[in-house]
Structure 1
Amino acid sequence: MALLLSFASCSGSPAQVSSYTVADSTGDWGYPSPYAHYSRGPGYTRMQFIFETLVWKDASGFIPQLARDWEYIEEENAYLFKLRDNVTWHDGKKFTAKDVVFTIEYVKKYPNPFVTLVGPSGLSKAEAIDDYAVKLYLEQPYAPFLHDIAGTLAIIPKHIWEGVDKPEQFTDPEAAIGTGPYTLADYSKEHGTYLYKAYADYYLGKPFVDEIKFVKISAEMIPAALKAGSVNAGDIPPEVVSEMEEAGLTVITAPVAWNAKLTINHHKEPLSSKQFRQALAYAIDRESLVQITQRGHAIAGSPGMMPPTSDWYNPDTPQYEYDPAKAEGILERLGYKLKNGYFTKDDKLLELELIAAANFKEVGQFVKQQLETVGIKVDFRTLEAKTLDAKVQAWDFDLAIYGHGGLYEPSILKRVIMDEGFNSARYTSNETLNQLLKAQLSEMDPEKRKDLVYQIQEVYAEDLPALTLYYPKWYWTHDGTVGLFYTRDGIASGVPIPLNRMAFVK
């Protein structure tokens, strides 16, 4: 909160800002409705200015949002939410418990990319107690309910969405009517731009920033745009941090919660062999990778995925310290023989394809060099991000350099190990791991849950369906007009972007 207070006027409120521009090198992240935005953090971030959740988080933790109060009723395995009675949708209609019940029923029928309401995180029933109280009954105890569901599920208006049966294709203006502090004034898929206008009737008061713009600017040009004052905020590469600070700009560092990992197609030989995957881990010097490709602005990855800075990190997780001789020994025991510098088996060259997006080009080249040093031939190429996603989703690859955030709350482990989706290893071959992943979600005792999470890291690291290479240190720069901050445990279910909508609200 110190950031917010430091920019307050003498009256205790921030000065009114007419326009605020955010630079983004990617541009388009989809139409900012709960169903049409791209299912990655930047897509959710653009949506969260318009749509709200029952609870939210700021820099310190959970805060009220559409719900002013809540409680867990253990004997009913249910949460009771008492809703605000002064909230309106952007079209002027009143928000009530009926909208919450409708949203739950709708998302169960049409799954939302950020929220799962079936299985361990499922809701058996949503009941409106009155117009401003709703009770949500859980299918089973679910420890991260506030983080994963109540603080992530965008509530949608019943009067607009009840007739929509193809939500991903619903991009009419009405699809962007929410309860949030901003309305959508303009969106250009072609140019990757977004324009938001402050909602004058917002229940917490009209935001102090009249409009927010997202503009597409190449990553190389963002620092210059920040220094010139043509944009107010943007992410920057590590090498310009000192330059930005010397220019009088504010630099903020993201908590470690995103990992770049070597995704492995464990469905095909030889990658289906656990021992082969372990050989890959021994062959890659993750510490050197950090120093060379990230210029030291990262932390070497843990094979258990949870970062060493996390309260959930297990320090006894197997680490596979760099040992190329051990990697070669494993390959030899698997029947491979070195011939002209590369391993072969049955006179067939051991060759793997490695794919990555262009922003991982240097990392990919490093991994290629490391693997070829121990005798694994690598064909490395970069692909456009959406093409990469499609190939990984279809298992049309050998190795891919990939990444995702959300490594705050260990509920993400099931989603990125077992569940479907291109961010997941989609690994279900180890029943012990499967059971641990499910059990930690329903364990309401914090210490017992932590023990389960420790076990998950050890088993996952043993099987290695994917290998975390590093956790980057990310930096954003802003001019101080708005006190941007990183949300505790990330926006919603763990988005590490410092554009929490509450930073723009008085």
Structure 2
Amino acid sequence: MLKPWILISGLALALLALLAISPAGVAGYEVAEYTIADATGDWGFPSPYAHYSRGPGYVRMSFIFDTLVWKDDEGYLPALAEGWEYLEAENAYSFELQEGVTWHDGEPFTAEDVVFTVEYIQDHPYQWVDSSIIESAEAAGDYTVKLYLTEPYAPFMDLVACTLPILPRHIWEGVSDPEGARDDEALVGTGPFRLADYNKAHGTYLYEAYDGYYMGAPKVGRIVFVKISDQTAPAALRQGSAAAASVPPEAVSSLEGAGLEVIEGAFDWNAKLMINHQKEPFSDPEFRRALAYAIDREALVEIVLRGEGLAGSPGMVPPDSDWYNPAVEAYEYDPDLARGMIEDLGYSGTEVEVLVAERGIVGWPGSRAAELIEEQLEDAGLEVTLRSLDGATLDTLVMAWDFDLALLGHGGLGADPDYLRRMTLDETLNSVRYREDDRLTALLEDQRTETDGDDRAEIISEAQVLYAEALPALTLYYPRWYWAHNGEVALYFTRGGISIGVPIPLNKMAFL
């Protein structure tokens, strides 16, 4: 294992090489350079169509591309739209756009860019926005645009207005392969920063301030992302080679003692046991419920998270959410009951493979969680094999339904509760893709068209009960997240998470 000082030296060399790429000066900014440590490193080319589908990929793209509306720690705030309203009679949202906004290449931003973007994602689906709910987009002059919906859509503000990156028509109208567009033009946005360098192999990103930004020039001249593990990040923070990083809970007190600021996030990320409900015996809901009784989620919190988290709700929604239903079946740990259920079903001695990946991220369900689950499932009468893979391979196998059980994790549980539908019905990696329960499917579809808050809350509550009964996957725990930083930038966790709920305190507004 490399010693911390060797890793930090490697970080310093990577920074020197990266910063030497761009000769532009950073004098005159309140903060000349701001270095962010990231455990994974590469999250894809930061264009709207080429970034990886997880939250860190979206965050890197968001520094370059703006949406119509954005969020901070208090709620919605204007972005490319300075004002908006819902027109119930027309089932449309009207947006008054900012005037004087320019793309990074100097071309003016207008309503035609918004109309083009909507039409473009209907021809070229964008992974984070459901374009089917938008019937059409119409411009009324250069700075007014209406988006007509196919039906009422309760999560529109979070899942469309605050998520869809607006594209420059004069560039993207000639792009037929958006995922393959990797040139400089693919990174022309209206956001506060421009990409100066990206190194996939090293997992490094260098952003430089766009002084022509319509909200005012950023206060940070350069933002640098460098790959460094969460375990080594505290040393980098203390030495000053990193300005911000996610840190393990056990490092919090020493970092605060060293004069660093520490912020704590909500329980809006979950470690999840994915269950292949498309094959026997996992296709049997009673067997899935036996698995839930067999796994000690409280022990996972105490041992894997060292008490820094909450045991998972079988209804997925975390207990600190306004949408949480406390009446959901808890499946308290009961190995004797689990063993008896498995015996009655005739599955004693069944061979089960559990896939796991080490991703170097605090809270991620890695080998320690897998070993505990192995012990508990074997105690319930199953024959368990652990299979350790790299993260990309595990994701591929899960998407192909080529697994028994797999340990994954994702955020978004602090955002609009439509995530319960998306994580159940959508054909995406983090979704369980479960439609066998007609009543559950109907409720999840109905809630997104219910615009009355109280009525929608009742639907979400009932859906949690049915999800917990079906158990297409089991939320194991919600980790408590900590980020430490040097105070040069006032980082914060976005209310409801960035975009569709990304629980990362790197909101671009903090850098302005």
2:315 equivalent among 296, 304, 311: 304
CA deviations 1:252-311 (Å, max 9, x no partner) are 111111100100000000000000000000001111110011100110000000000000
Q: CA deviation at 1:218?
A: 2.7
**1:444 aligned counterpart, secondary structure:** coil
Q: Which runs of 5+ in 1 are unaligned?
A: 1-13, 337-342, 345-349
CA deviations 1:227-262 (Å, max 9, x no partner) are 000110011111111111111101111111110010
Q: CA deviation at 1:220?
A: 2.7
In structure 1, the residue matched to 2:295 is 284
2:413 equivalent among 404, 407, 418: 407
Map 1:128-277 to 2 at 5 A.
128-277=139-288
Letter in 2 for 1:59: D
Counterpart CA distance in 2 for 1:316 and 1:364 is 28
In structure 2, the residue matched to 1:357 is 357
CA deviations 1:374-395 (Å, max 9, x no partner) are 1111101221110010000000
Q: CA deviation at 1:73?
A: 0.3
RMSD: 1.0
1:49 is aligned to 2:60: no
How many residues get paired?
Answer: 478
Counterpart CA distance in 1 for 2:296 and 2:226 is 38
- % of aligned pairs identical? 57
TM-score (norm: length of structure 2) = 0.92
**1:320 aligned counterpart, secondary structure:** coil
1:445 is aligned to 2:455: no
Q: CA deviation at 1:15?
A: 7.1
Q: CA deviation at 1:421?
A: 1.2
Letter in 2 for 1:379: T
The worse-fitting range, judged by mean Cα deviation, of 463-472 and 373-382 is 373-382
Q: Which runs of 5+ in 2 are unaligned?
A: 1-27, 360-365
CA deviations 1:211-231 (Å, max 9, x no partner) are 100011233321100000011
Structure 1 residue ranges (4+ consecutive) displaced by more than 3 angstroms after TM superposition: none
Counterpart CA distance in 2 for 1:318 and 1:256 is 20
Letter in 1 for 2:357: A
Q: CA deviation at 1:113?
A: 1.2
Q: CA deviation at 1:332?
A: 2.0
Counterpart CA distance in 2 for 1:57 and 1:241 is 27
Counterpart CA distance in 2 for 1:218 and 1:299 is 24
Map 1:314-463 to 2 at 5 A.
314-336=325-347, 343-344=348-349, 350-359=350-359, 360-408=366-414, 409-463=416-470
CA deviations 1:344-391 (Å, max 9, x no partner) are 4xxxxx110000111411111111111111111110122111001000
CA deviations 1:303-356 (Å, max 9, x no partner) are 0000000000001001101111111121122124xxxxxx24xxxxx1100001
In structure 2, the residue matched to 1:464 is 471
Counterpart CA distance in 2 for 1:366 and 1:272 is 23
Counterpart CA distance in 2 for 1:274 and 1:319 is 15
1:117 is aligned to 2:131: yes
In structure 2, the residue matched to 1:487 is 494
CA deviations 1:56-100 (Å, max 9, x no partner) are 000000000000000000010000000001110000000000000
1:21 equivalent among 35, 49, 73: 35
Counterpart CA distance in 2 for 1:488 and 1:86 is 28
Map 1:61-100 to 2 at 5 A.
61-100=75-114
TM-score (norm: length of structure 1) = 0.93
**1:370 aligned counterpart, secondary structure:** helix
CA deviations 1:412-431 (Å, max 9, x no partner) are 11111011011110000000
